């Protein structure tokens, strides 16, 4: 083959100057990763030399330079300049030998694929592209389902012209690249029949937090362009990378079904692709099976390992052959450049009415007036510093996105254009907000909050918020373990950089109330429900599950898995559900299964429920979720904790029920702790230590029951004091007895967060660990370090 065309298998990642970043990466994967089972569609690339020969054969260098100078001097607008350059390129004629080489390669590709005339994807690949510091994502054009020699040559010419789209010119100028030193290679690649299957994008790192142990996958039906452009709301899957090495495990820690209302499929000669609505069945189904999700995640891990950096990867599933392919891979450029020693955090205070919500991109908060833009042609109406609200964005929107304080789109997922660009710009965004363009009125001031986890929220008015940056280098080391209290799976990975010793308290009931929303007994006895509205809601939530109880187990296991992933390999102590009866009754269908109590705080709660006929079947579902979490997913760092266990006899009953459901203390390394929150736990600590591996002091309830104060009472709030001498005596006593019995002992109350001297008291008593809220971690870590130094006499 001549100097104008080169097959992918002869290209390597160092050939960017010859075939551009995109094509160099394709060749690298074919050469280096095929042996690891990663499939990349075959094809060829035109060279940078072919581009320059085309430009020179048509005498275009001087006109292009002149047009660019006019733009820089203000004599012509960016839009006028880009249009003029593209016009002269599209009018250019191919040098005969280059055209013959491309057509010959296309014919050879058709023969390789055993197809009369191959359908190909024709993609632009610039020689300043997919670099670790600048992605150039979406700056040039790609054309799908190109069939025939004439159509191919036309698509190649259009790729050349797309080197001078308005967005590409602007991007190169912003990033300091000389327009006339950047060439374009065209990749001609076997078209994967994802129009009959699905496609999407994945990152080998969590895009919002930089959590490096997770693969994030977006998936939709049909060709992948709709995912990239943010036209559809895709499925979202997360997979925990460290456990992928064991083929027996399935560490899928999240599966969120997107609406996927439309898909892009093959068209005809006039329009190679066309959009169509998806069927009701497609919208209700996940695009990928668990096996396919795990395969893609393993491929992402292998690609990241090979390149030595986090990767942004496009994949496609051929529905005709039922095979998966990687069609692009480039370095991730946002989190890779983030300062690893600094942790920026935002704290939201008083806020207005919730107006809309969607997927949060970034973790910042911004406020400003709404500026609703329907079309790129109306971009001139945008007001600097406003909140840009639109249905979706494409690369033409970048200039106005740079001027926004926040971005909100009706459509799109975490890998859509709006999400990628907002991350690169450092601008908070909410994508997939569905009705934002209808719910938000132009000119009204709103607050966009991306600081509350996976979901982003848009509030009426200007909310109170503050920002701070934690320097991780300033956090001291301590002998006493300092752990985190975490309950919300959606926001847990925000804190992965904190040097915590694990999660000391993960509240199961938070996951149940937020992700599941249904009383477990209403799932077990669905047919007995008298509340028809509750039945309808439960039927909708559990659609697609063979058994309604599987919904509870699946969602609970996934929610807890996202917490366990942040702690891994350090322990995460999962407290089994500790709702009070009035709280359980508030769950969907719950009122029919809960008694009414005068004082639920000391009523039918905790351990007493787990062996009772009134809840035993519900507890069995909790046990099934823990078993799946530990054995199917592989999170053996999960420790189970039993709350509100009043007696040693009750402890034995609970352990027996757990064993019936496959959770046997000591088997497969399972540890079981008890919440120390009742005076009997202190009085009989030595006996409790024979049934449990450790204690976690719940200082709120222990204070309540030691002082005889309802902690919810406003009238007695001033008397509720965790530092009361009676409470401190109880804590000191149980620490001494637990250590003597060889059991672990920690505290997960609020007191160390509020009072540094209380942290010093705990260290003096010899506690093993304290568990605190993330926002107080740094202060408590410092107080513990100071206390240890004082105790040592230093």
Q: Please tell me which residue in 71, 156, 623, 748 is annotated as part of the active site.
A: 748
Interior CA angle at 726 toward 722 and 727, to 5°? 35
CA-to-CA distance for 780 and 786, rounded, in angstroms?
A: 10
First to last CA, the chain: 75
Tell me the β-bridge partners of 762. Answer: none
**How high is the mean pLDDT of the chain?**
93
| Residue 704 near residue 710 (C-beta atoms within 8 A) | yes
pLDDT of 336 reads 67
Q: What is the pLDDT of residues 723-775, one digit of tens each?
A: 899 999 999 999 999 999 999 999 997 778 777 789 899 999 999 999 998 88
Q: Could you tell me the pLDDT band of residue 2, with boundaries at 50, 70 and 90?
A: low
Q: What is the DSSP string of 267-336?
A: --SS-SEEEEEPPHHHHHS-SS-HHHHHHHHHHHHHHHHHHTS-EEEEEEEETTTTEEEEEEEEE--SGG
Q: What is the pLDDT of residues 413-430, one digit of tens each?
A: 988 888 888 887 889 999
pLDDT of 132 reads 46
Residue 516 or 793, more confident? 516
pLDDT of 794 reads 58
Mean pLDDT of 200-210: 94
Q: What is the pLDDT of residues 270-298, one digit of tens each?
A: 888 999 999 999 999 999 999 999 999 99
pLDDT of 717 reads 83
**Quick count: other Cβ atoms within 10 Å of Cβ 602?**
16
Residue 509 or 175, more confident? 509
Q: Please tell me which residue in 417, 450, 519, 676 is annotated as part of the active site.
A: 417
pLDDT of 337 reads 66
Question: Cis ω on the peptide bond leading into residue 765 (within 30° of 0)?
Answer: no
Q: Could you tell me the pLDDT band of residue 228, with boundaries at 50, 70 and 90?
A: confident
pLDDT of 136 reads 43
pLDDT of 133 reads 45
Q: Based on the residue annotation, tell me whether 748 is a catalytic residue of this protein.
A: yes
Mean pLDDT of 453-472: 92
CA-to-CA distance for 415 and 408, rounded, in angstroms?
A: 15
pLDDT of 270 reads 80
- Say whether pTM exceeds 0.85: yes
32 burial class (0-12, 13-18, 19+ CB within 10 angstroms)? middle
């Amino acid at each position: 083959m001549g100097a104008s065309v080169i097959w992918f298998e002869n290209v390597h990642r160092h050939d960017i100057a010859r075939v551009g970043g995109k094509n160099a990466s394709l060749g690298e994967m074919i050469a280096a990763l095929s042996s690891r089972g990663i499939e990349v569609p075959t094809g060829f690339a035109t060279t940078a030399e072919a581009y320059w020969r085309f430009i020179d054969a048509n005498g275009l260098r001087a006109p292009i330079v002149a047009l660019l100078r006019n733009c820089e001097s203000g004599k012509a607008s960016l839009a006028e300049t880009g249009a003029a350059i593209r016009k002269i390129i599209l009018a250019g004629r191919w040098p005969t030998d280059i055209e013959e080489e491309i057509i010959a390669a296309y014919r050879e590709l058709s023969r390789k694929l055993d197809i009369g005339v191959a359908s190909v994807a024709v993609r632009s690949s610039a020689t300043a592209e997919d670099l670790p510091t600048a992605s150039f994502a979406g700056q040039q054009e790609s054309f799908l389902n190109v069939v025939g020699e004439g159509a191919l040559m036309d698509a190649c010419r259009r790729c050349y012209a797309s080197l001078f789209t308005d967005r590409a010119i602007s991007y190169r100028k912003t990033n300091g690249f000389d327009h006339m030193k950047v060439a374009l290679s065209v990749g001609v690649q076997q078209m994967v029949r994802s129009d009959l299957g699905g496609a999407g994008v994945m990152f080998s790192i969590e895009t919002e937090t930089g959590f490096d142990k997770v693969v994030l996958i977006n998936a939709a039906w049909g060709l992948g362009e709709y995912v990239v452009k943010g036209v559809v709301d895709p499925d979202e899957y997360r997979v925990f990378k460290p456990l992928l090495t064991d083929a027996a495990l399935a560490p899928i820690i999240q599966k969120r079904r997107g609406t996927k209302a439309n898909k892009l499929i093959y068209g005809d000669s006039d329009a190679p692709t066309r959009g169509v609505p998806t069927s009701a069945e497609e919208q209700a189904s996940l695009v990928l099976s668990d096996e396919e999700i795990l395969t893609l995640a393993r491929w992402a891990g292998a690609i990241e390992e090979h390149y030595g950096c986090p990767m942004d990867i496009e994949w496609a599933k051929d529905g005709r052959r039922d095979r998966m392919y990687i069609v692009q891979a480039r370095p991730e450029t946002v989190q890779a450049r983030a300062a690893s020693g600094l942790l920026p955090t935002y704290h939201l205070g008083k806020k207005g009415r919730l107006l809309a919500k969607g997927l949060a991109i970034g973790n910042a908060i911004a406020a400003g007036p709404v500026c609703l833009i329907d079309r790129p042609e109306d971009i001139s109406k945008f007001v600097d510093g406003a909140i840009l609200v639109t249905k979706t964005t494409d690369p033409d929107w970048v200039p106005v996105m740079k001027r926004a304080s926040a971005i909100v789109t009706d459509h799109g997922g975490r890998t859509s254009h709006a999400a990628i660009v907002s991350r690169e710009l450092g601008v908070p965004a909410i994508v997939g907000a569905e009705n934002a363009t209808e719910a938000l009125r132009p000119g009204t001031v709103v607050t966009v909050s991306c600081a509350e986890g996976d979901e982003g929220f848009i509030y009426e008015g200007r909310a109170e918020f503050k920002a701070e940056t934690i320097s991780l280098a300033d956090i001291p080391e301590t002998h006493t373990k300092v752990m985190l209290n975490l309950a919300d799976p959606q926001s847990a990975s925000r804190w992965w950089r904190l040097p915590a010793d694990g999660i000391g308290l993960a509240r199961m009931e938070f996951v149940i109330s937020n992700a599941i929303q249904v009383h477990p007994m209403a799932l077990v006895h669905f047919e007995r429900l008298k509340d028809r509205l509750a039945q309808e809601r439960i039927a909708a939530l559990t659609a697609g599950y063979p058994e309604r109880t599987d919904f509870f187990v699946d969602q609970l296991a996934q929610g807890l898995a996202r917490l366990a992933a942040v702690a891994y390999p350090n322990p995460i102590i999962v407290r089994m559900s500790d709702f009070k009866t009035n709280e359980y009754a508030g769950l969907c269908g719950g009122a029919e299964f809960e008694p009414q109590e005068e004082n639920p705080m000391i009523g039918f709660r905790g351990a007493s429920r787990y062996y009772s006929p009134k809840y035993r079947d519900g507890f069995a579902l909790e046990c099934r979720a823990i078993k799946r979490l530990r054995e199917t997913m592989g999170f053996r760092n999960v420790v189970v904790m039993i709350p509100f266990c009043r007696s040693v006899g009750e402890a034995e009953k609970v352990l027996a029920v757990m064993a019936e459901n496959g959770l046997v203390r000591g088997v497969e390394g399972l540890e079981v702790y008890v919440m120390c929150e009742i005076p009997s736990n202190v009085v009989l600590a030595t006996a409790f230590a024979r049934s449990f591996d450790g204690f976690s002091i719940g200082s709120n309830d222990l204070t309540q029951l030691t002082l005889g104060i309802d902690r919810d009472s406003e009238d007695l709030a001033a008397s509720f004091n965790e530092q009361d001498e009676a409470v401190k005596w109880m804590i000191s006593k149980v620490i001494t007895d637990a250590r003597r019995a060889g059991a672990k002992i920690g505290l997960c109350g609020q007191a160390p967060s509020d009072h540094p001297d209380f942290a010093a008291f705990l260290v003096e008593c010899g506690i093993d660990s304290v568990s605190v809220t993330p926002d107080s971690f740094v202060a408590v870590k410092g107080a513990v370090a100071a206390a240890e130094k004082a105790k040592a006499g230093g």
